[in-house]
Amino acid sequence: MTQFPNFVGGQWLSSDDAAENRNPSDKSDVIGLFAKADAETVRDAIGAARSALPEWANASPQLRHDVLLAASMEILQRRDELTQILSREEGKAPKDSFGEVTRAAHVLSFFAGEALRLNGEFATSTRPGIEAHVTREPAGVVGIITPWNFPIAIPAWKIAPALAYGNTVVFKPAGLVPHSAWMLVDILQRAGLPNGVLNLVMGSGGVVGDAILSSDAVDAISFTGSVATGRHVAASCIQGPRMKKVQLEMGGKNPLVVLDDANLETAVECAANSAFYSTGQRCTAASRLIVTEGIADRFVDRLQTRMSELTVGNALDPQTDIGPVVDESQLESNLSYLDVGREEGARVVGGELLNRETQGNFMAPALFLEATNRMRICREEIFGPVSAVIKVRDYDEALAVANDTEYGLSSGICTNNLKYARHYRRNAAAGLVFVNLPIAGVDHHLPFGGRKNSSYGPREQGAYAREFYTTVKTAYIGDME
């Protein structure tokens, strides 16, 4: 069985304690044993990141550029291998994994360029004879904590800006998907990072995550995951002995509005893609389909047909559209929500457990009909291939229902009416808005994030990432003899 060690201060460190990583498409397939860090290993990793900070913060931006670009090139060269690793451990269909691996490479090359573009401002002081400069410096030692549903892209879009802007990193990936994270660290390290700049500590949130959060040698935390963990992360960052800068990306209950005048095929494709691809395990997944009365019956009919055409199966099979649910506990949670919906008075189509050649967590996509926005199934994030149709009278009611949620990540509308499209763009209470497009796919060079309980702190990705990964210094310089 292959053993995968932690990476601390430039050394690969094995441990007596290791966790098995299993393939959700075939539970008899053990991918490897991944070392579990204890609190002392995390302290060493933070110490290594602290020691490496002065040199990396003052390194030539050309070096940071070169490392990130070399890593990007290696990812592109090994794209098929990394796609397979991702599909095998997370269960994402090959085309989605391929897209995610490609995105990780593009994120790294984007931030390679950003390393060379970190300019400051020269300002005129209100006091004559004084020069004022506004410059950016690295935030410091950054703790990066990531979820399981984007095993390589999310680590890449946090680690790349951290390194580009001169920070050092202690990285804790999600326990379910350590292999992609391990590969990313290995590739970055061999691309030329000095020892200690990037450290990998694998293991549970309670041990590894909390050791990072409680350290007074960590300056900032970038977290993506659930709202419940996010609240704990934010509270720890504020209440600990050393306050930390914090950025949180969390859940969603994202609406897709379909108006009477929409093109039916476009609307059905947007819904099927946004709700069910990647097994619905996306923070941007459309879990509420808000449909006006004139098109509702045709939309539901056509969407059910489309659902029956989707191939659910082994994530290593190129024909698969939808892979397995990531693990048994997520599968149980999805199925229990089907019961919740039934008890609340909604009707479920689909959602059956499926038998395939291998023992995996295979579930057919599920659609709730006759749902209302007051039901738990329309308020709580399910995070599986499950969506709900909510019928409304008109555009005004659709917009009100779309915004009536504690979340505010992604929001979309299908319409051919420019008046409604423009009004929705301005009034959707979300960080991302889409018109006549699936609501789950975004560009790597533009800001990403949401409102309300979906996000906290500055945006991720694109040039906006510098707000979190740098700190601004304002300097005043007087006369000299």
Catalytic residue numbers read 249, 283
In angstroms, what CA-CA distances link 153 with 125, 161, 442?
Answer: 43, 13, 12
Among 269, 327, 381, 467, binds ligand NAD (CB under 6 A): 381
Residues numbered 394-433 forming contacts with ligand NAD, rule: CB under 6 A: 409
Of 15-23, 106-114, 140-148, 291-299, the segment contacting ligand NAD by CB under 6 A is 140-148
Strand partners, 256: 289, 412
- Full strand arrangement of the beta sheet holding 386-392: 347-350, 366-371, 386-392, 286-292, 254-258, 410-414, 432-435
Q: For the CB of residue 119, give the shortest distance to ligand NAD in the complex, in Å.
A: 28
Sole binder of ligand NAD in the list 7, 337, 362, 383 (CB under 6 A)? 383
The minimum distance between CB 374 and ligand NAD, in angstroms, equals 21
HSE of 413, CA atoms in CB hemisphere, 13 A: 30
User: In this chain, which of 9, 99, 113, 175 binds ligand NAD, going by CB under 6 A?
Assistant: 175
Which spans in 357-463 are helix H?
395-403, 418-427
Contact 287, 276 (CB under 8 A): no
Is residue 153 part of the contact set for ligand NAD (CB under 6 A)? no
**Nearest distance, CB of residue 381 and ligand NAD, angstroms:** 5
The DSSP code sequence of 374-396 is: TSGGGTS---SSEEEEEEESSHH
Nearest distance, CB of residue 262 and ligand NAD, angstroms: 27
Among 146, 180, 387, 453, binds ligand NAD (CB under 6 A): 146
The binding track of 337-376 with respect to ligand NAD, each residue x by CB under 6 A or -, is: ----------------------------------------
Among 237, 283, 335, 375, binds ligand NAD (CB under 6 A): 283
Q: Is 327 in the site for ligand NAD (CB under 6 A)?
A: no
Binding status of residue 467 toward ligand NAD by CB under 6 A: no
- Distance of closest approach, residue 477 Cβ to ligand NAD, in angstroms: 41
Site string for ligand NAD, 206-245 (x = CB under 6 A): x--xx--x----------xxx--x--xx------------
Residue 222 is encoded by which pair of tokens? Answer: 């970038």
What is the distance between the alpha carbons of residues 142 and 138, in angstroms, rounded to a whole number?
10
Question: For 290, which DSSP code?
Answer: E
**Residue 277 engages ligand NAD in binding (rule: CB under 6 A):** no
Chain-centroid distance, C-alpha 69? 22
Per rule CB under 6 A, count of chain residues that contact ligand NAD: 29
Encode burial over 300-322: b for 16+ CB neighbours within 10 A, e otherwise. bebbeebbeebebbbbbeeebbb
Taking CB under 6 A as the criterion, the residue among 5, 91, 147, 384 binding ligand NAD is 147
Smallest gap from Cβ 476 to ligand NAD, in A, equals 38
Residue whose CB is less far from ligand NAD, 8 or 145: 145
CB 216 to ligand NAD: min, Å: 16
Strands 470-477 and 432-435: unpaired
What CA–CA distance (Å, rounded) separates 266 from 302?
Answer: 11
Sites for ligand NAD among residues 87-126 (CB under 6 A): none
Whether the CB-CB separation of 330 and 24 falls below 8 Å is answered with no
Q: Is 296 in the site for ligand NAD (CB under 6 A)?
A: no
Strand order in the sheet with 220-224: 11-13, 6-8, 198-200, 168-172, 141-145, 220-224, 245-249, 455-456
Give the single-character DSSP code of 206: I
Binding site for ligand NAD (CB under 6 A): 145-150, 172, 174-175, 205-206, 209-210, 213, 224-226, 229, 232-233, 249-252, 283, 381, 383, 409, 454
